[in-house]
Structure 1
Amino acid sequence: MSWHGISTVARLELRQRARASKWVVVLAIWFAVIALVSVLSYLALNDPDARSGAAMYDVVIFFVLGLGMLVVPSLTATSINGDREHGVLATLQTTLLTSADLVLGKLLAAWAISGAFLVTALPFLAWAWVEGGVSVGRILLAVVVLLLVLAVVCALGLMFSTLTARPVASAVLTYLALGALVFGTVIGFGLSAFLVNKEETVRVYGIPNDFFDQNEPTYDANGNFVPGAERVPTKADCVEHDETRNVTHTERIWWMLPLNPFVVVADAAPSEPPANPDQGMGFTPMRWISEGSRAARVGETTELRQECWVDGPAGQQPVDPNAAAAKDAAVWPFGLVFLLLAGGGATAVAERRLRTPIRRLPNGTRIA
């Protein structure tokens, strides 16, 4: 394996892609679609209270990741078996190029093309930064994580391209694998929540249930409401007491969520919270996903639950300990490590499948 061999294969792949005019058309359509989505997001959320910059940032990042996971597999899912079917792969294998050169070169070329698609979205991310609600650092981190996720997608497609003889089969398997990561993890987490849900006795600091039983609204014989019979709870009525509740221990199953590429990207660089707590969050799906996944990792607290939901002496509400702990419970590093390991393993499998001499090939597979 050498850099010269890897770069040679990558250049051959890029030149072959450049000769096909359809990729220029696809890139133009990609740019137009992202532009349309960005403009529509701006027009729909052009309100200072809605933080249109943060909304545009979230929409563009998610849209690029979603489209990328649809387009990028086509760059590698048919790369190896397509060359084998046309008799090109055997010619390359007779040269001084090693199997690692072939795999890494094709992977590098596909990653470069996916990076080109991502570059077309940078003007709209810059637009979101100008509108406010997101910093340059968060945008750069999101772009880096997004590039790494797209590299993993390329590696998965390359692996299935070496495992199957027909390009159609490898493309289907690639999309199934990505569907399992995107939808299967969410479905698995939702179904597993029923398995970790049970009734437990929890300690609560708040208004006990018997307070409301003793202060129910009073009605006269004619069914008319009698004012003044009930008493509004105050902070002085908050006491520590035990309650039996359904508790879902999401801290036991949270590890499913970081396997999802959307959770990894969303949690790595969500849009910034508003400086004014009274300001609306706007349409920020990345922040919603980030907060939800971090809350799942923390789970429901076993400590004293602060539920005295009445105004204090200064008119302030008590702080939820779960929300405070969830702020530091990042899940994206775990997910990114998993995806990189999966991408590295897929690349290793693809390299092993291209080693020569080949002892066995599927029936009907063309060699040269």
Structure 2
Amino acid sequence: MSLTHIGTIARLELTQRLRSVSWYILLGVFAVLLLGITGLAFAVYSWGDAVGAGVYSIVVNIVLLLVVLVSPTLSGNAINGDRDAATLAAIQVTAVSTGDIMVGKLLAAIATGGAFLVVALPFLGVSLLGGGANPLVLLISLLVLAVEIIVVAAIGVGLSGLIARPLFSVATTYLVVAGLVIGTLIAFALGGMAVRSEATSYNRPYDSAGNVDCESWDTSTYEVPRFDLVWWVLAANPFVVLADATPTEFTAEGYPVDLFGQIKSGVRSAQLSPLEQRWDECGIGGSYRTPQDVINSTVPSWFVGLGVQIVIAGSLFAGAWARTRTPARRLPPGTRIA
């Protein structure tokens, strides 16, 4: 592979994207959207001491949301779009290798996704004015966001090389991304509700005078869904990966100060078994735990989820690489090559 050739392919791909007025309109709409969201985020977190941390986390999650919504459209026809327009064959007969084409188009897809992050940088800077932001949180969250942009871009480029028709490859890219974002939530909810077990609740009884009896327990049994058996399904969700990998800052009472920590505590709570619940008004062995206690007593899953995403994206990208290699032994029926 040649860095010059890769740069040429990426530049040609970006030129085709950027010469469209609709691209700039899209970025403008995104900026206006971020302006409104940033203002609302300041209102939401105005009660805390770490306003900047909360606003920052919302803006980063919105950037990720826009990436998973828009990037499939921009990357899902990167290869078959050129093949359909009869421009891919003209490139393949030059000194440019298959690797140059694949990596160049991947870099262009990453750049289009990264454009949303560039537009969001002023709003991220404004969020820091609220105070309470941890430099380590800023660094890790942006790194994970960049990795997610690469993963989504690789999925789109990979499917564009494996599927002959641009419309189908874009639709399939949306389905794969939706499977990671929405499908994991549906599988988690349905899986947890489908498996149920009997749980026992322990409560302190009251005597005839209305005082708590700290020497005995009242028990009751009931059925509960077992989300603790299917929590791992959420590991591959991009928003869960982002939240779980980002260090969490807590208030003095043990509550997270930003959206990252709130998502993380919700996912980590699903790991806890619901089979025994204790409500102890005597303060001995009580079952209530703060979000900080929950996070500290459970296991992270972001590296597993990110690994699953990388395997999916890498497999699709490798398959597209093999399909794009010339001379081609077999192509799908109806594929245009010149």
TM range, smaller chain: 0.7 to 0.9
1:309 paired with 2:287, answer no
CA deviation vs aligned residue, 1:126-179 (integer Å, no higher than 9, x gap): 222221243121122111111111111111111221222222111111111111
Identity %: 36
Give the count of matched residue pairs.
337
- The residue number in structure 1 matching 2:240 is 263
Note closer, same or farther for the CA distance 1:112–1:238 as it changes in structure 2 (3 Å cut): farther
Distance 1:299-1:145 versus aligned 2 partners, 3 A rule: farther
> In structure 1, the residue corresponding to 2:194 is in which secondary structure?
coil
1:259–1:338 CA contact under 8 A, matched in 2: yes
1:92 alignment partner in structure 2:
91
Written as runs of structure 1 = structure 2, the 5 A alignment for 1:175-214 is 175-200=174-199, 207=204, 211-212=205-206
Post-superposition shift, 1:191?
0.9
**AA at the equivalent of 1:100:** G
Matched-pair contact (CA < 8 Å) for 2:248–2:256: no
Which secondary structure does the structure 2 equivalent of 1:246 belong to? strand
3-state SS of the aligned residue for 1:194? helix
AA aligned to 1:277 is: E
Is 1:362 the counterpart of 2:336 in the alignment? Answer: no
Change (3 A) 1:238 1:353: farther
| Range 317-326 or range 163-172, more displaced | 317-326
Q: What residue is the counterpart of 2:131 in the other structure?
A: 132
The 10-residue stretch of structure 1 (21-30 or 154-163) with the greater mean CA deviation from structure 2: 21-30
Deviations 1:115-135 (A, max 9, x none): 121122122222222212431
- Match for residue 230 of structure 2 among 253, 261, 286: 253
> 2:307 matched to 1:333?
no
Provide, for residues 3-24 of structure 1, a one-character-per-residue CA deviation record: whole Å limited to 9, x for no partner: 3332332222223333334323
Structure 2 residue 14 is matched with structure 1 residue 11 = no
**2:52/2:130 contact within 8 Å kept:** yes
Q: Which residue of 2 aligns with 1:320?
A: 289
| SS of match in other structure, 1:193 | helix
> Normalising by structure 2, what TM-score?
0.88
Letter aligned with residue 266 of structure 2: G
**Shift of residue 91, structure 1, vs aligned partner:** 0.8
Contact 1:60 1:121 in 2 (8 A): yes
Q: Which residue matches 1:230?
A: 209
C-alpha displacement at 1:256, in angstroms?
Answer: 0.4
Cα distance between partner residues in 1 of 2:218 and 2:299: 29
Q: Aligned in 2, Cα 1:252/1:140: closer, same or farther, shift over 3 Å?
A: same
Which of 255, 269, 287 is residue 295 of structure 1 equivalent to?
269
Stretches of structure 2 that go unaligned for 5 or more consecutive residues are none
CA–CA separation in structure 2 for the residues paired with 1:253 and 1:311: 32
Tell me how far 1:92 sits from its aligned partner.
1.0
Distance in 1 (alpha carbons) for counterparts of 2:304 and 2:289: 25
Q: What RMSD in Å do the two structures reach over aligned CA positions? A: 2.9
In structure 2, distance between residues paired with 1:337 and 1:293: 18
Which ranges of structure 1 fall in alignment gaps of 5 or more residues? 216-228
**CA deviation after TM superposition for structure 1 residue 32, in Å:** 2.4
Secondary structure in structure 2 of the residue aligned to 1:79: coil
Q: State the TM-score, normalized to the length of structure 1.
A: 0.81
CA contact (8 A) 1:77 1:158 kept: yes
CA contact (8 A) 2:49 2:132 kept: no
